Amino acid sequence: MFSKFHTAVALAAGLALTACATAPEAEDAATPNPFASTYTPRPSIPTLIRGATVFDGNGAEFANADVLMQDGHIAAVGQNLTPPEGAAIIDDGGRFVTPGIIDVHSHLGVYPSPSIEATSDGNEATEPNTAEVWAEHSVWPQDPGFQRAVAGGITTLHILPGSANLFGGRGVTLRPVLGARTVQEMKFPGAPQSLKMACGENPARVYGERNSSPATGMGVVAGYRQAFADAARYRRQLENSENGEGDPPDRSLEMETLAGVLSGDILLQWHCYRADEMANAIEVSHEFGFHIAAFHHAVEAYKIPDLLQRENICAAMWADWWGFKIEAYDGIRENIPFVHQAGACAIVHSDSEVGIQRLNQEAAKALADGRRAGVEISRGQAWTWLSRNPARALHIDEETGTLDVGRRADVVVWSADPLSSYAVAERVYMDGALVFERGGLNERPSDFELGQTYREGAQ
Amino acid sequence: MRVFSALLLALALASPAAAQTVLIRDGHVVTNGAAGVIENGDVLIVNGRISAVGADIAAPRGARVVEAQGRWVTPGAFAAMSEVGLSEISGSGAPNDAAVSGELIAAAAEAGRAFNPGVTAVAVTRMEGVTRAAIAPAETASLFGGRGALVSLGGGPDGVFRQSAFMVVELGEVGASRTGGSRAAMWPAFEAALRDAREYPGRYRSGQGGAVLNEIDAAAVQPFARGQGMFLAHIESAADIRRLISFKRANPGLRFAIHGGAEAWQVADELARADIPVILDPLSNLPDRFERLSARVDNAVLLNRAGVHIAIAPMPGTVDAHQARLVLQLAGNAVANGLPWDVAFAAVSRGPAEIFGVGAQLGRLERNYLADVVIWDGDPLQVMSAPVAVFIDGVEEPLVSRQTRLRDRYNPLTHPRN
């Protein structure tokens, strides 16, 4: 495992050099793809997992099924599969297999451990619109939290700026690559960036206390609208200049992000707790003609599941957080299942370096509470909240999130039903490569932890 | 002081008038005591207390019989640290009695005098099987975090059943930050504060005043400085724990428990010998503070193996007013990482009761114990389980909260929108 790991790093390093060689030429033209992904899957061998209970991520559950991974992809899911020559065969019996968990809301790397003033890198809280900043430029790849997340079955995560601002900046979809030296080595290839926006209390508090706008809900919405109006003009000027009408506008990183939202190239991930504020946000999206990928921390999504379903907006939710501020006061344990019941896209998210390690338990709580309220939900359906639906909200559902043949082989083998408190991820595969094995020798502490009183097996 | 506390306890623990005679029949009864788990066991509740536990108990005349049908029957859970009842909403500038600022009152802050049994979090918490909690202020401006209380989550007017049950003291990173930024100053400051407290009221009446504490705080610290109450020390690192152990050795009259203890596994044997219990968080596995660099997920397992008395609660800095119900999930995760089930369940029931000095009244299903009894639809440490009945002091509590009212108002199955 150790030598394989070095191969992967060497390969990734080679790609990074290649990327540098094609550096930008023109001074004022945007480079097509700055900070491009240099992620390379680790080498893998064909692997057959036999006789497991399988949640396929699409809502189905198969008993006593096999999962075959080959060339980094899902090759087959079914009964009595024949392993290719040289395949590793996992035949533990009684295990559960699922797609890797995808967390759409994490601050790992931007608010890393240890948490001190110098490492609190997730909020550019200097003005309400910082659409120009990118979370990936704050990500510290050595955050020990990435290793803990993998041990909890996470194979993809979306890192967002904080919620101090109306426009917090761009989010990035990462692989939790243990041993990555650069954030580029972690970037999910081809995954679109997002823009983090925030409703409600946080921006109004942060800027209101400075006696600047926004100080109120009114100021918040006005701030959104003026920025998008400006971005629409910027985008028009760009298009006109491409058609030979006039000069292009001066390059503005802030406007590039907002124009990217208007064109649909950048996904909108919107921190918004309250039902009425989500409705206002939807109005803004109609006025300026963009789509909202997901509302995050949508504590009151259960009040407007019809609206979310109609608008095709996902709701990323906690199972049971509530009461820590007034916009979270109406949190109920049935939020996720009620959104699910309405046919809307329900997602379990963490927003926490602790919660990200056991999102399966959060789904389990939501499932159980939903059933008690009369919502019929299967275990397999509950898993869509953890993998397929977040993949949709991040526009990577053609790549991962289910065990469909051809998808990236992002797979977790659980010691028991992962909706049990007692289940742990025993093996985690990313692109078909074993990246974590419980109690195995391939646990790799981050550089930060090396040489401390850390002991083998501690995590 | 001791006599006074005992008297207060006796009064506060008096059974409420509404308690009935209830026989819970045929449960998977977790006694948390010498009888272990009793299959097809019965629990008889009379006047708010457990009257009998065993097999085939005859129902007294007029008793209400509850058929457990093989379900789990356990003592109520005891949140070993919470801010429940200290705020309706903790942030947003809403009133929050867990936050004490300013120089006037720190050690003297008394959580029990702010506890409001009517806040909605109390019902939200008890309907998930948590019937008791230790509460304390979140923080103050001083080394001393204030006096904690033990509360019932029954929602009645006598919710506080022990005032001034413990004194929170910061003896780690936070403590250092309160004393000029260094542990080098923290320990001398703590020692000086104890001297001030022991010499109260003399040095204050003489006009000398305190070296560290004002008169109000000195009076509050005094019983603890005399060993009549327990200091609950927020400590995480192995180095700090060792200093506490030597301090205790030099001051054998003082009583300490640790809350935090992320690196306690490194000094497990020493802690066991020093007889210092640890209230720990089984999810603490990140070096999120420098005092937690060696936090590891099986801390509870290693401490238990060494014979350290443990209880489970969120780590300092994550204790809150709304999610005390999650202590059972914390205990379940300890099981996932190797802690035996009975130890994990005890760590959220009997363990806290014993650490806080009420182990003879709470935490077990045994004769004469207070009748905090929960019937569950499954293993209580499993996240998918929930109570089907909760008794506090022998009174069955409705499984209703503001949250269930919201749920029922918006349930798409009973109120379809289309």
Determine the length of chain B: 418
Contacts of A419 in chain B (CB under 8 A): 383-384
Question: Which DSSP string corresponds to B349-381?
Answer: THHHHHHTT-TTTSSS-STTSB--EEEESS-TT
- High-pLDDT (> 90) share of chain B, %: 93
CB proximity list for A18: less than 8 A, separation 6 or greater: none
The C-alpha atoms of residue B388 and residue B383 are separated, in whole angstroms, by 14
- Residue B103: predicted pLDDT: 87
pLDDT at B142: 95
Co-location of B118 and B36 in the same domain: no
Task: List pLDDT tens digits, range A388-414.
Answer: 999 999 999 999 999 999 999 999 999
Q: pTM here?
A: 0.93
Residue of chain B with shortest Cα separation from A453: B294
> Which residues are bridge partners to A173 per DSSP?
A158
Cα-based torsion angle of the residue sequence B99, B101, B107, B108 in order, rounded to the nearest 10 degrees: -90
Interface-testing mutation among A307, A332, A350, with chain B (most B C-beta atoms within 10 A): A332
Q: Please answer yes or no on whether B287 and A449 come within 8 Å at the CB atom.
A: yes
The residues, ordered by sequence, that sit 6+ positions from B200 with a Cβ below 8 Å of its Cβ are: B210, B215, B218, B219, B221, B222
Is there a single domain that holds both residue B356 and residue B279?
Answer: yes
Q: Within this chain, do residues B143 and B57 fall inside the same structural domain, yes or no?
A: no
B274 lies in the same domain as B164 = yes
Q: State the CB neighbour count (10 A cutoff) for residue B1.
A: 11
pLDDT of residue A451: 86
Asked if B63 and B206 sit in the same domain, the reply is no
Peptide bond into B201 cis (omega under 30): yes
Residue in chain A nearest B120 by alpha carbon: A323
Summarize pLDDT for B202-247 with one digit per residue, the tens. 999 999 999 999 999 999 999 999 999 999 999 999 999 999 999 9
Q: Are B211 and B338 in contact (CB under 8 A)?
A: no
Residue A119 C-alpha from the chain's centroid: 21
Residues of chain B neighbouring A303 (CB-CB closer than 8 A): 410
Supply the pLDDT for residue A88. Answer: 97
The residue of chain B with its CA nearest to that of A329 is B89
Q: Encode pLDDT of B129-153 as tens digits.
A: 999 999 999 989 999 999 999 999 9
Q: What is the CA radius of gyration of chain A?
A: 22
Confidence check: pLDDT of A1 > 70:
no
DSSP B346: H
Co-location of B195 and B310 in the same domain: yes
The Cα–Cα gap between B39 and B68 comes to 11
* Contact check, Cβ <8 Å, B414/A325: no
Dihedrals phi, psi of A261, to nearest 5 degrees = -70, -45
Mean pLDDT along residues B37-41:
98
Cβ pair B90:A342 closer than 8 A: no
Q: Do A331 and B403 touch (CB under 8 A)?
A: yes
- Read off the pLDDT of each residue in A439-458 and give the average, rounded to a whole number: 72
Q: Which of A325, A327, A453 is opposite residue B294, by nearest beta carbon?
A: A453
**Banded pLDDT at B417 (limits 50, 70, 90):** low
Expressed in angstroms, the distance from the first to the final Cα of chain A is: 19
A2-449: CATH class: alpha beta
Nearest chain B residue to A446 by CA: give it: B287
Contact A323/B89, CB-based, under 8 Å?
yes
A302 contact residues in B (CB cutoff 8 A): 410
Query: So where are chain A's domains?
Result: 2-449
Answer yes or no: do B297 and A458 touch at CB < 8 A: yes
Token pair for B57: 């108990």
Q: What pLDDT is attached to residue A32?
A: 74
Residues B275, B181 share a domain: yes
Taking residues A417-428, report their average pLDDT. Answer: 98
Q: Is the bond preceding A114 in cis, omega lying within 30 degrees of 0?
A: yes
User: Min CA distance, B174 vs chain A (Å)?
Assistant: 13
What percentage of residues in chain A have a pLDDT greater than 70? 91
Read off the CATH number of the domain in which B403 is found: 2.30.40.10
pLDDT value at position A440?
76
Q: Which residues of A touch B333 (CB under 8 A)?
A: 358, 361, 421
Give the closest residue to B109 by CA, choosing from B74, B143, B158, B70: B143
Statement to judge: residues B225 and B253 lie in one domain: yes
For the stretch A187-203, pLDDT in tens is: 999 999 999 999 989 99
CA A223 to chain centre: 26
B287 & B418 share domain: no
| pLDDT tens, residue by residue, B164-202 | 999 999 999 999 999 999 999 999 999 999 999 999 999
CB atoms within 10 A of CB A235: 20
ipTM passes above 0.90: yes
Instruction: Give the whole-angstrom CA distance, residue B259 versus residue B312.
Output: 9
What is Dmax (Cα atoms) for chain A?
A: 69
Q: Which of B328, B343, B362 is the last residue of a domain?
A: B362
Higher pLDDT, B123 or B9: B123
Chain B residues touching A324 at Cβ < 8 A: 89-91, 320, 322
What's the domain range around B168? 77-362
**Confidence check: pLDDT of B327 > 80:** yes
Do the Cβ atoms of A189 and A72 come closer than 8 Å? Answer: no
* Among chain B residues, CA nearest to A323: B89
Domain count, chain B: 2
Whole-number mean pLDDT of chain A? 92
User: Chain B: nearest CA to A134, how far in angstroms?
Assistant: 24
Test B411 with A305 for CB contact under 8 angstroms.
no
pLDDT (0 to 100) of residue A31: 62
Q: Please list the residues that pair with B374 across neighbouring strands.
A: B74, B390
A chain contacts of residue B417, beta-carbon cutoff 8 Å: 305-306, 342
Contact check, Cβ <8 Å, A358/B418: no
| Residues of B whose CB is below 8 A from A365 | 329, 383-384
Tell whether the model's pLDDT for residue A58 goes beyond 50. yes
Number of A/B CB contacts below 8 angstroms equals 148
Q: Is residue A308 over pLDDT 50?
A: yes
Q: Do B346 and B403 belong together in one domain?
A: no
> Using one digit for the tens of pLDDT, what is the confidence trace for A337-392?
999 999 999 999 999 999 999 999 999 999 999 999 999 999 999 999 999 999 99
Of A324, A333, A361, which is closest to B90 when you measure between CB atoms? A324
What pLDDT does A304 receive? 98
How is B108-149 classified by DSSP, letter by letter?
Answer: T-BGGGT--TTSHHHHHHHTTTEEEEEE--SB-SSSEEEEEE
Q: Is the pLDDT of residue A458 over 50?
A: no
Mapped to the 3 state alphabet, what secondary structure does chain A carry?
CHHHHHHHHHHHHHHHHHHHHCCCCCCCCCCCCCCCCCCCCCCCCCEEEEEEEEECCCCCEEEEEEEEEECCEEEEEECCCCCCCCCEEECCCCCEEEECEEEEEECCCCCCCCCCHHHCCCCCCCCCECCCCEHHHCCCCCCCHHHHHHHCCEEEEEECCCCCCCEEEEEEEECCCCCCCCCHHHECCCCCCEEEEECCHHHHHHHHCCCCCCCCHHHHHHHHHHHHHHHHHHHHHHHHHHCCCCCCCCCCHHHHHHHHHHHCCCEEEEECCCHHHHHHHHHHHHHHCCCCCEEECCCCHHHCHHHHHHHCCEEEECCCCCCCCHHHCCCCCCHHHHHHHCCCCEEECCCCCCHHHHHHHHHHHHHHHHHHCCCCCCHHHHHHCCCHHHHHHCCCCCCCCCCCCCCECCEEEECCCCCCCCCCEEEEEECCEEEEECCCCCCCCCHHHCCCCCCCCCC
B403 with B358, same domain: the answer is: no
Nearest to A329 among B89, B296, B384 (CB): B89
CB atoms B283 and A357 under 8 Å: yes
Return the top range by mean pLDDT from A176-180, B2-6, B9-13.
A176-180
| Torsion angle defined by CA atoms of residues B284, B289, B291 and B292, in that order, rounded to the nearest 10 degrees | 20
Q: How near does any CA of chain A get to the CA of B321, in Å? A: 8
Which tens digit of pLDDT belongs to each residue from A23-33? Answer: 333 444 556 78
Is the pLDDT at A60 greater than 90? The verdict is yes
Strand arrangement of the beta sheet that strand A167-174 belongs to: A101-106, A154-159, A167-174, A194-198, A267-271, A294-296, A314-317, A346-348
Give per-residue pLDDT as tens, A93-147: 889 999 999 999 999 999 999 999 999 999 999 999 999 999 999 999 999 999 9
Asked whether residue A168 carries a pLDDT value surpassing 70, the answer given is: yes
State mean pLDDT over A171-178.
Answer: 97
Same domain, B158 and B29: no
